């Protein structure tokens, strides 16, 4: 006997065998049990959710020799013939191949004749939206007032294309996409009955790939069994599906969470080896970011059956909600602009680099790799975009870096050099003699790029016995790297004119980390913002406009003057 594919072998023959769709089955079963039958039923929904299957089971219920009920016997001649596709009074029509009005008229010529074998003559029209407008017009009168022995069962994936005159004459049921957990449970039962060895994660992956379609899930399972040589293993399924949307997308997000541009480009390099559609990868990235945003907004909402749930939860904890929202918006815009890129991969890389370049206000810019050979393209530290674009009077390097982050000029804030406790030790006071405050010293060090960003988030801790102590804000400890620290040490040696060693200590904001130039610039920016908002609120012209036009100030539209 030839092999029968799983999607056909396990096609439900009764309503009780169906997976999901309880909202449809309940209405149909109650209508059948109470003899409240409509003359036309319309089943809508995406592919593989059971539209045609429900229609065939309904045909069995209507023609079962044991009587009309929600549970056909399955053993009488009518039930068996419908299961085998040879019941003479069940006329199945594929509207996609019979769109002409002549086909519809030929079909309806036999409506007036009584059924030959069963209780009702049933017309099952699949993909009914493919009929032409003339065909709908020919069908309309019969659909409105059919003979008592005729039932119409219509199925479509696109109900919007049906005329309202047809929709209003049908009892409509919308079949939903099935959740992955329900599909996975069904696949596990099927594989158990087939005696196929399988892994739970592989089944979950197949259920996710089916995208709500039980038929697609069974077809993919058939493919997975063949690919795995009689078993369904996670590694085999990942290879078969080309799981770019899973592993590689998570790898990209993990690199973004580490703000490591070299790791991001390395991940793109590995991804490009599979020749993916980068628009699809961006779509998968958007879906993953959506899951992370939901988990951050409602902890515990992430699907526990997802095969990569542990990695997703770790990402949800590492990324801030602001970063997730920013990444989502950039990916959404990048997907729209991708066709305009000279090369899809270049456009995709620019989307990811944009995620690293633009940060929420008050956060540090991402580090640039100090090892160019890691991704083969070179990683050269560049001055901030704000510093390059600025056409006004030249500013210090420190002011340029802060200006790039905040969007506003930053005035140097002078202050005494202090340690973590805010008190100066005698040794520090002697050796610090002649050294300007840290913010002024930083402007003279000729640092740029990530080494400057690291120094901006440090406070002066003192110079003692040839050792310069810098207190790094704990929130920005991820900026540290030996090459960057060495550049700061060399710059200090050149400025101080003597050999020094550098010790950077990560401390909390209360222990000195809050006295960094970056923190002071942020405080100054917030102060200017508050002053600008207060000035707008107290401005008589604004008040007059609000009163005259019932206007209101748009939130976040107030910006301090530069």
Q: Under 8 Å CB-to-CB from 471, ≥6 apart: which residues? A: 419, 420, 458, 459, 460, 461, 504, 505, 507, 511, 512, 513, 515, 516
Three-class DSSP labels, 469-524: EEEEEHHHHHHCCHHHHHHHHHHHHHHHCCCCEEEEEEECHHHCHHHCHHHHHHHH
Cα separation, 253 vs 247, whole angstroms: 10
Share of the chain above pLDDT 70, in %: 84
What's residue 525's pLDDT?
83
Q: Which two tokens stand for residue 182?
A: 């329900």
The pLDDT score that the predictor gives to residue 377 is 37
Write down the pLDDT at residue 448. Answer: 80
Q: Is the pLDDT of residue 308 over 90?
A: no
62 Cβ neighbours under 8 A, 6+ residues apart: 32, 37, 68, 118, 119, 120, 122, 151
Report pLDDT for 301. Answer: 79
CA distance 362 to 407: 11
310 — pLDDT class (breaks 50, 70, 90): confident
Q: Specify the pLDDT at position 278.
A: 87
Q: What is the separation, in whole angstroms, between the first and last Cα of the chain? A: 82
Token pair 């069908």 in the structure block, residue:
139
Q: What is the pLDDT of residues 335-369, one digit of tens each?
A: 999 989 889 999 999 999 999 888 655 454 444 44
Quick one: pLDDT at residue 38?
92
Phi–psi pair at 166, nearest 5 degrees: -80, -45
Cα–Cα nearest to 204, from 240, 237, 230: 237
Task: Say how far apart CA 490 and CA 502 lie, in whole Å.
Answer: 9
Q: Cα–Cα distance between 17 and 398 in angstroms, integer?
A: 70
What's the CATH class of domain 395-528?
alpha beta
Average pLDDT, rounded, for the chain:
81
For range 27-41, the mean pLDDT: 92
Sheet of 467-473: strand order equals 458-464, 467-473, 501-507
Question: How far is it, in rounded angstroms, from Cα 262 to Cα 371?
Answer: 8
CB 101 within 8 A of CB 135: yes
- Specify the pLDDT at position 244: 52
CA distances from 446 to 457, 466, 492 (A): 16, 21, 10
Residues 19, 186: contact at Cβ < 8 Å?
yes
Which strands form 150-156's sheet, in the order they lie side by side?
90-94, 121-126, 150-156, 40-44, 171-174
What is the C-alpha separation between 238 and 250, in angstroms, rounded? 14
Boundaries of every domain in the chain: 6-174, 180-241, 244-362, 395-528
Report pLDDT digits (tens) over 134-193.
Answer: 888 888 888 888 889 999 999 999 999 999 999 999 999 999 999 888 999 999 999 999
Among 308, 166, 207, 123, smallest CA distance to 316 is for 308
pLDDT confidence of residue 243:
56
R_g (Cα) of the chain, nearest Å:
34
Residues β-bridged to residue 155: 43
pLDDT tens digit string along 17-26?
Answer: 998 889 999 9
What is residue 260's predicted lDDT score, i.e. its pLDDT?
A: 85
Per-residue pLDDT tens digits for 390-429: 334 343 333 333 333 333 333 333 333 333 333 344 333 3
Average pLDDT score over residue span 540-554: 83
Closest CA relative to residue 442, chosen from 430, 457, 429, 421: 457
Please choose, from the candidates 121, 124, 111, the residue with its C-alpha nearest in 3D space to the C-alpha of residue 54.
124
Q: What is the pLDDT of residue 259?
A: 85
Q: What is the dihedral of CA 273, 279, 282, 288, to 10 degrees?
A: -100
Q: Of 281, 279, 194, which is closest to residue 232 (Cα–Cα)?
A: 194
> What DSSP element (H or E) covers 307?
none
Q: What would the CATH number be for the domain defined by 180-241?
A: 1.10.8.60
Under the banding of pLDDT at 50, 70 and 90, the label for residue 246 is: low
What's this model's pTM, rounded to 2 decimal places?
Answer: 0.55
pLDDT confidence of residue 376: 39
Q: Which residues pair with 150 in a beta bridge?
A: 121
- What pLDDT digit, counting tens, does each position of 61-99 carry? 999 999 999 999 989 999 999 998 899 999 988 887 777
The superfamily in CATH containing domain 6-174 is P-loop containing nucleotide triphosphate hydrolases (3.40.50.300)
Please report which confidence band the pLDDT of residue 385 belongs to, taking 50, 70 and 90 as the band edges.
Answer: very low
Q: Which of 263-277, 330-344, 374-388, 443-457 has the highest mean pLDDT?
A: 330-344
Residue 43's pLDDT band (cuts 50, 70, 90): very high
From the options 3.40.190.10, 1.20.140.10, 3.40.50.2300, 1.20.272.10, give the CATH code of 244-362: 1.20.272.10
Average of pLDDT values for 422-445? 65
What is the pLDDT averaged over residues 536-545? 85
Inter-residue contact 249 to 284 (CB < 8 Å): yes
Token readout for 292 is: 């992370």
Among 146-160, 372-386, 443-457, where is mean pLDDT lowest?
372-386
* Residue 138 near residue 107, CB atoms below 8 Å: no
Q: What is the pLDDT of residue 154?
A: 93
Q: Phi and psi (nearest 5°) for 36?
A: -110, 85
Place of tokens 């000029």: 409
What does the block give as tokens for 525? 């920016």
DSSP 139-162: HHHHHHS--TTEEEEEEES-GGGS
Considering only residues 446 and 54, tell me which one the structure prediction assigns the higher pLDDT. 54
């Amino acid at each position: 006997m030839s092999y029968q594919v799983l999607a056909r072998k396990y096609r439900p023959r009764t309503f009780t065998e169906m997976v999901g769709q309880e909202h449809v089955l309940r209405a149909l079963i109650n209508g059948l049990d109470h003899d409240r039958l409509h003359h036309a039923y319309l089943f809508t929904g995406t592919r593989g959710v059971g539209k045609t299957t429900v229609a065939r089971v309904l045909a069995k219920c209507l023609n079962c020799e044991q009587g009309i009920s929600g549970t056909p016997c399955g053993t009488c001649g009518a039930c068996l013939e419908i299961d085998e596709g040879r019941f003479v009074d069940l006329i199945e029509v594929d509207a996609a191949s019979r769109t002409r009005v002549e086909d519809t008229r030929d079909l309806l010529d036999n409506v007036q004749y009584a059924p030959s074998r069963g209780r009702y003559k049933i017309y099952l029209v699949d993909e009914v939206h493919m009929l032409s407008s003339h065909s709908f017009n020919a069908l309309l009168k019969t659909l409105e007032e059919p003979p008592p022995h005729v039932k119409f069962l219509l199925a479509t994936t696109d109900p919007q294309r049906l005329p309202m005159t047809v929709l209003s004459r049908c009892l409509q049921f919308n079949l939903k996409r099935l959740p992955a957990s329900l599909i996975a449970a069904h696949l596990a039962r099927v594989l158990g009955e087939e005696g196929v060895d399988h892994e739970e994660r592989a089944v979950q992956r197949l259920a996710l790939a089916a995208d709500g379609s039980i038929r697609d899930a069974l077809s993919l399972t058939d493919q997975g069994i063949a690919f795995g040589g009689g078993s369904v293993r996670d590694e085999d399924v990942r290879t078969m599906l080309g799981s770019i949307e899973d592993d590689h997308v998570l790898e990209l997000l993990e690199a973004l969470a580490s703000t490591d541009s070299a790791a991001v480009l390395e991940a793109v390099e590995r991804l490009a080896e599979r020749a993916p559609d980068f628009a699809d990868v961006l779509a998968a990235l958007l879906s993953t970011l959506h899951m992370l945003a939901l988990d951050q907004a409602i902890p515990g909402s992430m699907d526990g059956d997802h095969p990569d749930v542990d990695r997703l939860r770790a990402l949800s904890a590492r990324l801030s909600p602001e970063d997730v929202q920013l990444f989502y918006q950039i990916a959404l815009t990048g997907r729209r602009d991708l066709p305009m890129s000279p090369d899809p991969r270049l456009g995709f890389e620019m989307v990811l680099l944009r995620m690293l370049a633009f940060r929420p206000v008050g956060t540090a810019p991402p580090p640039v790799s100090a090892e160019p050979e890691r991704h083969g393209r070179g990683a050269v530290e560049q001055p901030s975009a704000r510093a390059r674009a600025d056409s006004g009077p030249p500013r210090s390097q420190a002011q340029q870096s802060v200006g790039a982050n905040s969007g506003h000029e930053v005035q140097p804030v002078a202050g005494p050099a202090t340690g973590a406790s805010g008190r100066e030790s005698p040794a520090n006071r002697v050796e610090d003699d002649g050294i300007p405050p840290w913010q002024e010293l930083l402007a003279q060090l000729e640092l740029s790029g990530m080494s400057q960003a690291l120094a901006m988030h440090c406070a002066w801790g003192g110079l003692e016995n040839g050792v310069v102590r810098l207190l790094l804000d704990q929130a920005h400890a991820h900026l540290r790297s030996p090459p960057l620290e060495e550049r700061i040490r060399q710059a200090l040696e050149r400025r101080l004119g003597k050999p020094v060693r550098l010790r950077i200590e990560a401390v909390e904001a209360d222990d000195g980390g809050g006295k960094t130039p970056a923190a002071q610039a942020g405080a100054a920016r917030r102060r200017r913002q508050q002053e600008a908002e207060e000035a707008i609120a107290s401005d008589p012209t604004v008040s007059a406009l609000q009163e005259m036009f019932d206007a209101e100030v748009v939130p976040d539209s107030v910006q301090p003057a530069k």
